[in-house]
Structure formats: structure tokens, C-alpha cells
Structure 1
Amino acid sequence: MSGSSDLYSPVMSDALVILGAAGIVIPVFNRYRITPVIGFILVGLLVGPFGLGRHVFDVPWLAYFTITDPDGLDLFAEFGIILLLFSIGLELSFARLWDMRRMVFGLGSLELLVIGGSLTFILAAIGQSFAGAMALGLALALSSTALVLKITETTTPVGRAALAMLLFEDIALVPIIFLLGALAPHAGSGVGELLHTLIWGTVVIATLLIAGRYLLPPLFAQAARTKSPELFLAASLLVVILASLATAAVGLSPIVGALVAGLLIAETEYHAEVEQIIEPFKGLALGVFLITIGMSIDLAVVWENLGSILIATVVVIVLKAVVTGLMLRIMGARRGTATETGILMSSPSETTLIVLTAATSAQLIQPGTAQFWQIVTALGLTITPLLALGGKIMGKRVDAGDVPHQPVEDDGKPRTLIVGFGRIGHLVADMLAHHGRPYLAVDSDTDLIAEGRRRGYNVAFCDAGRGDALLRLGAGEAAAVILTMDVPVTAQRIVRKLRLQFPDLPILARARDADHAAQLYRAGASYAVPETLESSLQLSEAALVETGVAMGPIIASIHEKRDEFREMIMERGGLSEKPSLKSGQLRETEKA
């Protein structure tokens, strides 16, 4: 039998260090409500080759607590980014992506070109060759998909704007790398190779879209019949890996394939289950990526060049924040949204490191120059969570200047909490006020809040999807909570959180369709109202009235059909009990 030393391997040691870091960082930082992003980067700094790793030869036992093969983590770090883009695709849909096309190709392209051009001009002015300045400008103009989308919610105005710009940057990465190759002193024209990649990339993506539309529903249906979470996980990983390999094989980034895979699964009824199963693996793999960022920071080199590094970092961050904020304002975003998004998107990206490597290989910049900007990039990535926090604070202050605070009236009676003050939220508030029921409407859009207050509505600012915002507004003492927003994932998350905290609270939610209503019932909603169902019932009622049927039988048949559909939806959601609402509450809700 071999000795214990035979059981040790660098791979096993590194795996234990990473798992140990995740086991410590995530609960400790969550306990103090600090993003674990900072924790993972600090762990990488500590256990990497420039931290405790530099003392392994003097103190051999440190090998058990350090990363012995930093290059071996690159594959896992890339897999973390792939899973992140896959999860983003799960939250999107082709309809929503089409609606975002103006933001993606308009705002995204404008932001990248203006920031890249500005940085190119500055770097060329201080002595960098034009080709090298262009390479550095485009590299530093990119923002971190992994960190920004981990920090913000893509359902908020800030998250949607950031997602649009990041999607374009991810798409533009391949043309940027081809452009750098074409600018290399020893290179010929790269146009032919670029066209070849784009043509085959289009063919592969079209094939994925067609095949996924017909193959994924039966695949996940079979996995669902087995009731095996392991099989569901295997099917999910198989889809994302095959899609990523397919796009990588023709020269596109594998994250493009991951995003397409997520979009395809988002069109099936199994997307919520897939998202839940994949979440722990995404978090761990993303943690590996953040550890590699921390390992790339050499504090000794940073200290030797502290002044120039800080100046470069500040210039890049300020320039990107200002340009991004101005672009958003020009396209009609609120001042607070533009401010927060600009600061959030101001740091460089993990893909900046890829572009820097490509520029060095093409001999557009010197290795020493690349190392300097790699340190700037790593430093910028490290402070991204702090920038996000600062941007949020500044955005709220700007919004507070636009919308003066008004105290919410409270007569001491239990009030209904309306979450979302769009078209439907207005109507619900009108019905409650008409029947003398106190309410408080909340929304994260300050324009809607200002307009509502001018018209006499009782409305306040609240980002309901974050933290315990609804709890602080008195959701536990509310007569009911009504969710009217058209953001399915956020609505399900809020319903689930409220139901866990308040088992007896009436929760009424707007649903897009019967499938969404079933998901809301599973999450704990007392009553879910599918828009498609209510519109068809209203049309039926109007048709019956116009054809001469008496109003009494019409109302009875409408209520009967509504109850029938509700029971069918709950059965689809795997529930047997009817919603626990009093008849009076139910009738007022149906009227609203």
C-alpha cells in the first residue's frame, strides 16, 4: 500500500484550497452583506504565486494552502464565465433580446467606439504607436461581464443597460482580435479569415437555433419524467458544453454558444428548474475566475509603480464612467440610471486580458507595456464591487434631487402594497381608492413616481427585487401584496421570499400566461392572474352581451370559467389546494 505522500497531487491540493475558500468566503461575506467578489479576489491575492506562494520553497507546508498550478485554473475560470452567460440566456428570451436590439447594437456599439477612440487618442498623444494605442484603447474599453452581471440585476433599468452594452462587447471580441492580427507588422490581410469565421459562425448559430427548438423540449421532458435532478443537471451541462464547443470550433467565442443555449432553454417550460440546478456550479466556477484575478496581482510591482498605476486606473475609470453616462442620457435614460450604470461599467474587463495577450502576440505592444496594463486591469476588477456600491449611492442621490421626498400617508389601517406602478398598478390603485382601501404603490422608476405623486397617488420609491426592501415598507403588516410588474423571474423571487417570511400573507400576482401563473403558484402566490386568460374572458363577456344574453348568467359563467381555469393552472403547477383568499378579496381583485 502506498504512503500518504502518494495521495497528494497539485490538482487535489488546488481543488481543496478553492473549495475551502468558497466554504469560508461565501457565508462570511454574506453574513455581513458584502459581495463575495471581493473575498475571492483577496483569497487569490493571498494564496497565489505573489502571496504565500512565493514562500513555498522556504516553508514547504504552505504548498497545502496555496495554488501550486495557477495556469491549470484558467480552464475552470473560463467555464465559470460560460455558465454565467448561459444563466443570462435563461433569464432572457428571443422576444426580449429582439426588443433590446436598439440598445445592444446602438448604445453598445456607440459606447465601445467612443471610449475606445478616446483612449486611443490619449495613449497616442503620450507616445504609444497608433496601432498599439488602438489595441490598448479597445482592450480597456471593454467592461467585465462576469462581475457586472454578478453584481446587478438584469431586470432593473441599470441592469438592462449594462446587459445591452456587455452583449455587444462579447459579440465584438472576435472582430477585435482579428483586427489586431491584421494590424500586426508581419501579418497580411485578415479580412478573408474574418469573413470565413463570420459565415461559419452564422451557419453554426442558425443550426443551433433550429436543432434546439425541436430537440430540447423532448430532451428535458424525458429528464423531467425521471424526476432525477442529476439527469437534469447532466442534460443542462451537455447542452451548454456542446453549444460552446460548436461556436469555438468555427472561431467564435464559446460564450456566444453558451448564451444561445440559454436562450433556447428559456423558450421551454423547464428554464426555471435548469436555472436553479445550475446556480451552485456557476457560483463556484465564477469564484475560480475571481481567484485567478487575485493571483495575477503582484503587490511588489504595484508598489514600485504605484503612482503611474493609480493615475492610469483613475483616468480609465473616470473616462469610461463619463462617456457611458453621457451616452445613456443622450438615449433618454434617467440621470440616476445613467450615473449608476456609467460608474458600474467603468472598470476594465477579464476580456481586456485576452485582448492584451493578442496585442502582445501581434507585436503591437511590448511585453512590459502589456504587464503594466494587466495590473491596471486586475486592480480595476478588484474595486468593481466598490464602484458598484458608489454608483448606487450616487444614482440615488441624483434621483433624490429629481424627485423630492414626500412622506407616505398612513391612517393606521392595514394597507395594500402594490409592487410596480405601471399601467396595471395605476388601475389597481384606482380600484382600491374607489372602495376606500388604503394602499401604498412602489416602483424603482422615479419618473413614474414623480408623475404619480403629481396626480395624487400614494407612491414611493422602492427596488422590490433587492434585499428586504418590501419588509421595511411593512409587507408583514399589509392587507395584501399585489405584484403587477412584467418581470417573471423577479416576480417569482419576490413571491417565494414573501411566502417564506409571511405564510398567511395574501399575495396576488400578475402573470404573463398560464405557465407563468403555475410557476407563481408553486412559488407561493395566493392568486395569479394570467393576462391572456382575462383578456379572453373580457372578449367573451362582450360577445355574449352583444348577442343578447342576460348579464346575470354571463357573470355566473365568467366566474365559473375563471375558477375552472384557475384549478387547471394549479394542477399544472403541482398544487391541489385552491388559493386561500376570502371571497370579498377575490371579487375586488378580479375587478381590479
Structure 2
Amino acid sequence: MLHELGNILILLAAAVIAVPIAKKLRLGAVLGYLVAGLVIGPFALGLIRTPEEVLELSELGVVMLLFVIGLELSPQRLWLLRRSVFGVGALQVGSALLPLALIGWWLGLGMVAAAVAAFGLALSSTAFVLQILAERNELTAEHGRSAFGVLLFQDLIAVPVLALLPLAGSSADSGLDWAKVGQVLGAIAIVMFAGRFLSRPLFRLVARARSTEVFTAASLLVVLGTAALMHAVGLSMALGAFLAGVLLANSEYRHELEAHVEPFKGLLLGLFFLAVGMNIDLRLLSERPLAVLALMLGFLLLKFAVLGLLAWRLKLPRNGALMFIALLAPGGEFAFVVYQQAQANGVLPVAIADLLTLAVALSMAATPLLVLLVEAWIARRQAEATPRPDDVIDDERPQVVIVGFGRVGQIIGRILKAKEICFVAIDPDTNQVDLSRRFGNKIYYGDPSRAELLRAAGAEQARMFILA
């Protein structure tokens, strides 16, 4: 018990010290976490001896991040992103995977091993990219939406790849495991049914208890329960949480859910970045520096070229295209899972898997530095001339936020609706929320005294805030 408490104190102290320093130096929070993790990890000071356990726990941060992103994407809006997901995403993965696999095969790997190694290198970091885009308020920019589509496709395609790895190994059985397929489809059906028919009654019951703690517990139950169910059938926990978020995106409890999950998401994501820093194996880097750096620079340059062609094909503005390339070129956390499973199933030799893992981890650590370089280049260009700014997509943020939707709030709402002014209402009474929703009003349940809820509802962007 004391050992675990000591590790927790070390992790908290590392975050508290490193992140403010990194932000003061304008390096970004992500780079601060990475450097702190590297310093306290087993390959530097050795304050934390088991970084793999920390990484396993911290993956819940990615789970909660995807849940919050899902809350922002209704099924209708997700359908609008189908071109970015299945068009741009498939093109990025395929264009990077094919040449990387051919290079691996030319270097002496078998075709299956080369394909698996190339697939891991073709992926990008969902946690890093979305966090950086959110910090820069660029999730709804054109390059932000394109990057999100690519990341979502990568998460989707990683599921069947992980499922096929045991079949690719030397000990795999022939044929398709139809029982496993049935379990996967059954788990997805359960999540969709629960999100459609059970979530609203659950949160209505919890909301009537008027207990913030109980609502927080219910929010975590939904996120972690969905993630656990998906993990039990071999799917990505993050993908399951994203699906749950999408199904709840049209719920009147959406903003309250986001406000309750947000603090846990931020803390666990920070823990994830610390864990990535701790897993950078400095010993292997010192033993084979040329091999590691050549591998990292090689796949980065190839992905730069692929992503540059994609950005040109998408006609992204120059600044947005550079940010798109810098964010998606480095490797991603899913590569760790792919290489670990490939090693366990005899698809990749241990030495090759370790080398690939280190190259991916170093490239992830370089992500904030690449972003800083792009920002510096953009700033220099802006000092010389005033370029066209990035397109900003209308995120349907309300012009007016109404707190309280009783008699006065409803009168104001009717006036705004008659003037065709977009508004969002927040009310702590579940009965009032249910009644008003039947008349087509955009109203959400929640405690309006909480700053996180108001922020999630778009109060910072609204032109008017009415307390009714």
C-alpha cells in the first residue's frame, strides 16, 4: 500500500513541477509530461520501476477523451464526416502502409511481419493529436476535422488487425472464429441498445436524486462499463467509449456528462503522457542509436510525403496543411498494443518489436516539438505577410444561453425562436427539461452554477447570457 502511495505522490509531483515549467517556456503541457516521465522512469532516475503498469491504467485517459469527443458528435454529424473517415483515413493508412511494408520486406522481414510492422508505424496518436488540437481550439477547423477523421479510421481498422494477429502467428488455428465474431457483434448491439433505450431513464433517475456525487458515479459507470465490455470481447476500449458518447450526443444530459467526466479525462491523459515518457528505453537507444534514429527519421519522412499529398488533395490552407502533417506523421499509442500482441503471437521477433516500439515512442515525444516548429514557421510568415487564415467551421454554438427555462425563460425562448436566433437552455429540473424537449426546444439538464457545464454548453462563445 505504501509503495503504491509513494508512486502516486511521485507522479503527482512530476506533473505539478514539470507542466508549469513547460508552459512558462511555451513548450506545451504534453512535452512537459513526456520529459517528466522520462526523468522519473526506470531508464533515468528510476523512481518508478514499473512504467507498463502506469501505461495500462493511464489508457483510461484515452478512453475518456474519446467519450467526450463522441458527445460532441451526434450520429447525423458523424455521417457528415464519412468522407474524412473512410475516404481520407483509408487513403492515409494504405498509402503509408504499402511502402513501409515493402521496405521491411526488402530488409529481410517476412511479408506478414513486414505488414504488421508497417501498420504500427502508419498509425498516429489519438491522445496527442486531439489534446493538441483542443489546446489550440482547432478541432473544428478544416485540418482538425480531417485529422480527426484519419484518427477515427485508424481506431476502427486496428480492431480487425488485432483480431487477426493470433491467426498470423505460428500457433494460430486455421479458419475464422465465428464465436468471437458473434461476441463482438453482440457487444456492439448491447451498447447501442443501452445507449438508445436505457441511458435516459438511468440519468433521469440519478438527476432526480440531486446529488452531484451520484451523477459523477453514473457518468463513470457508463464510460468504464462500455470500455470494459468492449475490452472483454477484444475490441478497443477507446472505440467503445466513443460509440457510447455518440449515442448520448443527442441526450439532454450531454453537457452535464461532459462536465463530470472532464476532470478525470484531464488527469488520466496527463498520466498517459507521463507513462509514454517512462517507457522510452534509453538503454536500447544508447546501444543502437543509429538504427533507432534511422528507423524513426525514415518512417517520419515517408509519412511527411504521404500526408503532404493528402493535404494537397484535400486543398487544405497552407498553415492547416503543415499542422495536419506535423500532428499525424509521428507514431501512436496503438502501435504499442500491436507490437506487443505481434510479439506474443510470434509474428515479430522480440528485438524487432523493441526497436519499433522505441522508434514510435521517440516520434511521439517529438510531436510537440514538430508543432512548435510549425508554429514558428507560421509566425515568421505572418510577420512577413498576412496569409489567408484557416477556415473555421460553424460548430452550431448558440448565440444565446438561457439559464432557467421556467415561465420567463420560455417567453424569452419563444421570442428568440421567432427571430430565428439559435439558443441553448439549461435547467436543473428534469421534469421541465423533459416537457420542454417535447416542444422542440434545445434544452439540457444540469447544475448551472458549475463553470464546466456552462463552458460545455458554449457560454464562452455565446453573444448573450440570460439568467432567467
TM-score bracket, normalised by the shorter chain, equals 0.7 to 0.9
1:136 corresponds, among 111, 117, 135, to 117
Q: Deviations over 1:67-98 (max 9, x none)?
A: 14334323312211111111111222111111
Aligned to 1:151: 132
Distance in 1, matches of 2:448 and 2:172, equals 62
Q: Return the letter of the residue paired with 2:221.
A: L
Distance in 2, matches of 1:400 and 1:208, equals 51
Find the residue that maps to 2:43 and give its secondary structure.
coil
- Pair 1:379 & 2:362 matched: yes
Are residues 29 and 279 of structure 1, via their aligned partners in 2, closer, same or farther at CA, if it must alter by over 3 Å?
A: farther
Whether the 8 Å contact between 2:184 and 2:235 is mirrored in structure 1 is yes
Q: Return the TM-score normalized by structure 2.
A: 0.81
1:188 corresponds, among 150, 173, 180, to 173
Whether the 8 Å contact between 1:44 and 1:294 is mirrored in structure 2 is yes
Are residues 383 and 572 of structure 1, via their aligned partners in 2, closer, same or farther at CA, if it must alter by over 3 Å?
A: closer
Aligned to 2:399: 510
Question: 1:178: how far off?
Answer: 2.7
Question: 1:265: how far off?
Answer: 2.6
Q: Return the TM-score normalized by structure 1.
A: 0.65
- Pair 1:298 & 2:187 matched: no
Distance in 2, matches of 1:487 and 1:185, equals 50
Whether the 8 Å contact between 2:92 and 2:310 is mirrored in structure 1 is yes
Question: 1:574: how far off?
Answer: 6.4
Where in structure 2 are the equivalents of 1:529-540 lying within 5 Å? Answer: 533-535=418-420
- Pair 1:219 & 2:212 matched: no
- Pair 1:279 & 2:187 matched: no
Q: Deviations over 1:279-338 (max 9, x none)?
A: 221121112222221112232321232222222111111211221221232244334333
Q: Return the letter of the residue paired with 2:282.
A: L
Are residues 105 and 338 of structure 1, via their aligned partners in 2, closer, same or farther at CA, if it must alter by over 3 Å?
A: same
1:487 corresponds, among 395, 401, 404, to 395
Where in structure 2 are the equivalents of 1:183-262 lying within 5 Å? Answer: 183-190=168-175, 192-193=176-177, 196-262=179-245
Question: 1:276: how far off?
Answer: 2.2
Q: Return the letter of the residue paired with 2:298.
A: V
Distance in 2, matches of 1:519 and 1:240, equals 27
Distance in 2, matches of 1:168 and 1:42, equals 30
Q: Deviations over 1:404-434 (max 9, x none)?
A: 638xxxxxxxxxxxxxxxxxxxxxxxxxxxx
Question: 1:102: how far off?
Answer: 1.5
Distance in 1, matches of 2:127 and 2:404, equals 29
Aligned to 2:106: 125
Whether the 8 Å contact between 2:143 and 2:316 is mirrored in structure 1 is no
Q: Return the letter of the residue paired with 1:232.
A: F
Where in structure 2 are the equivalents of 1:539-558 lying within 5 Å? Answer: none
- Pair 1:346 & 2:329 matched: yes
Are residues 160 and 397 of structure 1, via their aligned partners in 2, closer, same or farther at CA, if it must alter by over 3 Å?
A: farther
Aligned to 2:76: 95
Q: Deviations over 1:521-556 (max 9, x none)?
A: 9xxxxx99999644599xxxxxxxxxxxxxxxxxxx
Q: Return the letter of the residue paired with 1:231.
A: V
Q: Return the letter of the residue paired with 1:297.
A: I
Q: Return the letter of the residue paired with 1:98.
A: W
Whether the 8 Å contact between 1:518 and 1:570 is mirrored in structure 2 is no
Are residues 220 and 399 of structure 1, via their aligned partners in 2, closer, same or farther at CA, if it must alter by over 3 Å?
A: farther
Aligned to 1:328: 311
Are residues 571 and 149 of structure 1, via their aligned partners in 2, closer, same or farther at CA, if it must alter by over 3 Å?
A: closer
How many residue pairs match? The answer is: 422
- Alignment gaps of 5+ in structure 2: 406-411, 423-438, 450-468
Find the residue that maps to 2:347 and give its secondary structure.
coil
Question: Of the two structures, which has the highest relative contact order with CA contacts closer than 8 Å and spacing of 6 or more?
Answer: 2
Whether the 8 Å contact between 2:125 and 2:364 is mirrored in structure 1 is yes
Question: 1:196: how far off?
Answer: 4.4
Aligned to 1:35: 28
Question: 1:572: how far off?
Answer: 10
Find the residue that maps to 1:383 and give its secondary structure.
helix
Aligned to 2:434: none
Question: 1:120: how far off?
Answer: 0.4
Q: Deviations over 1:448-476 (max 9, x none)?
A: xxxxxxxxxxxxxxx7xxxxxxxxxxxxx
Whether the 8 Å contact between 1:91 and 1:266 is mirrored in structure 2 is yes
Q: Return the letter of the residue paired with 2:390.
A: S
- Alignment gaps of 5+ in structure 1: 1-7, 54-65, 407-441, 446-462, 464-484, 492-508, 512-516, 522-526, 538-564, 576-592
Question: 1:275: how far off?
Answer: 1.6
Are residues 220 and 13 of structure 1, via their aligned partners in 2, closer, same or farther at CA, if it must alter by over 3 Å?
A: same
Are residues 300 and 218 of structure 1, via their aligned partners in 2, closer, same or farther at CA, if it must alter by over 3 Å?
A: same
Distance in 1, matches of 2:190 and 2:219, equals 18
* Farther-moved stretch of structure 1 (379-388 vs 245-254): 245-254
Q: Deviations over 1:188-208 (max 9, x none)?
A: 335x12x54444333322332
Where in structure 2 are the equivalents of 1:398-547 lying within 5 Å? Answer: 405=386, 444-445=390-391, 486-488=394-396, 491=397, 510=399, 517-518=401-402, 533-535=418-420
Q: Return the letter of the residue paired with 2:113.
A: G
Question: 1:372: how far off?
Answer: 1.0
1:173 corresponds, among 152, 158, 176, to 158
Question: 1:568: how far off?
Answer: 11
Distance in 1, matches of 2:404 and 2:331, equals 39
Find the residue that maps to 1:266 and give its secondary structure.
coil
Question: 1:359: how far off?
Answer: 1.6
Find the residue that maps to 2:399 and give its secondary structure.
strand
Q: Return the letter of the residue paired with 2:335.
A: T
